[in-house]
């Protein structure tokens, strides 16, 4: 018990220390000054390669690479992971959720630290077939998140399948490895073809993806054991999620990257909280798996028809509840807030801000006001609670409904 509390405390204290040190020493700006010119130079010099690839533009390739970009995107995985939980593969689902959260946070942090541009359009033709792609285009370029995520998630999925089946057939392993390599290569080529990334972005995505995958394969069993049977799990994860919001670097110009991170950090917290509370009821290894007599295809379809509307309702209710509670709590604690999109009445205004004469200046307030801003965007908290509620419903509320309905 003491060793568990010790490493949890050291982890959280380390993050707090990094927040203060990086803020005082302006680490983000210094790193950006060193790296950004080099990356920007390679983005510019890589433009002829992109134009050469786009000479082969064809309707079939447009559809192929646009479709592939959707399949390996964060929204797709967000929709796919609930089905994985409900199919009985809870361990794989929670491991991929946490890995996705690490990929999303790491990739977006690096994007906003470097703040390197995407390929210039024109001369490059940028093809955005979906609203999600249009939002991605507003982010900075390096690294390619699609490439990074594809390496990590497809690589871990291959590792899990081979471990789960305990198949020692060398030809099957080679086939699986070849399929993963093909998907990764097509994803990287597709991002260049669509004009979304330059070659240096893809290379960075590959390198960072391999590093994260290697790290995750070395710790995933320890993390899973902590989640399902550890001590102080919810408290630790709640504080960790809160600190990671503050540890996120400030980009050169505002981008949607922080919003994406806040949402998926909420998903990770909701999954951890729900699984930790209901592991022995719904998520242990002996639960029914799809394609077995205990969980037939019709039963699984019934789960999907019940589960998807339920989590959408919970998402809507969580958002409405957060929009009501957070401003009240902030005003009660005299925390000045604003809202950029969710609460029109707070758009461009600040609530809870006291006069300079009465404004607290103790160390507790300095902890919250260490950055240059003196107001907080309440949308971050709303987004976090909204997706936390959605994820919790996936692993707690919905399985309870399945049990009640005998699905």
Cite the active site residues. Answer: 146, 197
Residue 3 burial (CB count, 10 A): 7
Among 113, 123, 145, CA closest to 46:
123
Return the structure tokens found at 287: 């639960």
Q: Are 138 and 253 in contact (CB under 8 A)?
A: no
């Amino acid at each position: 018990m003491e060793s568990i509390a010790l490493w949890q405390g050291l982890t959280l204290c380390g993050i707090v220390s990094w927040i203060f040190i990086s803020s005082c020493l302006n680490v983000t700006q210094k790193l950006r000054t060193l790296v950004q010119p080099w990356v920007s130079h390679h983005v510019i010099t890589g433009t002829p390669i992109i134009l050469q690839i786009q000479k082969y533009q064809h309707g079939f390739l447009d559809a192929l690479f646009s479709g592939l970009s959707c399949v390996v995107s964060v929204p797709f995985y967000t929709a796919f992971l609930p089905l994985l939980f409900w199919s009985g593969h809870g361990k794989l689902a929670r491991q991929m959720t946490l890995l996705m959260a690490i990929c999303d946070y790491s990739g977006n942090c690096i994007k906003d630290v470097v703040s390197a541009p995407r390929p210039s359009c024109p001369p490059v033709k940028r093809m955005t077939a979906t609203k999600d792609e249009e939002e991605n285009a507003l982010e900075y370029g390096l690294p390619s998140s699609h490439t990074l995520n594809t390496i990590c998630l497809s690589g871990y999925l291959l590792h899990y399948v081979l471990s789960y089946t305990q198949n020692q057939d060398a030809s099957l392993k080679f086939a699986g490895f070849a399929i993963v390599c093909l998907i990764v290569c097509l994803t990287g080529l597709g991002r260049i073809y669509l004009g979304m990334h330059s070659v240096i972005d893809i290379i960075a995505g590959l390198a960072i993806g391999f590093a994260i995958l290697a790290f995750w394969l070395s710790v995933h069993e320890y993390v899973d054991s902590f989640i399902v049977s550890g001590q102080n799990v919810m408290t630790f994860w709640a504080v960790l999620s809160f600190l990671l919001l503050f540890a996120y670097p400030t980009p050169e110009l505002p981008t949607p990257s922080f919003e994406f991170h806040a949402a998926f950090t909420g998903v990770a917290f909701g999954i951890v909280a729900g699984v930790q509370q209901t592991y022995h009821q719904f998520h242990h290894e002996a639960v029914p798996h799809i394609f077995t007599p205990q969980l037939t295809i019709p039963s699984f379809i019934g789960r999907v028809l019940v589960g998807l509307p339920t989590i959408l309702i919970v998402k809507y209710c969580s958002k409405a509840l957060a929009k009501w509670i957070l401003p009240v709590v902030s005003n009660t604690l005299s925390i000045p807030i604003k809202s950029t999109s969710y609460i029109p009445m707070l758009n461009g205004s600040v609530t809870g801000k006291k006069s300079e004469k009465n404004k607290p200046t103790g160390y507790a307030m300095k902890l919250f006001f260490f950055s240059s801003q003196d107001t907080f965007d309440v949308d971050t908290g709303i987004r976090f609670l909204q997706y936390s509620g959605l994820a919790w419903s996936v692993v707690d509320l919905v399985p309870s409904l399945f049990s009640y309905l005998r699905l």
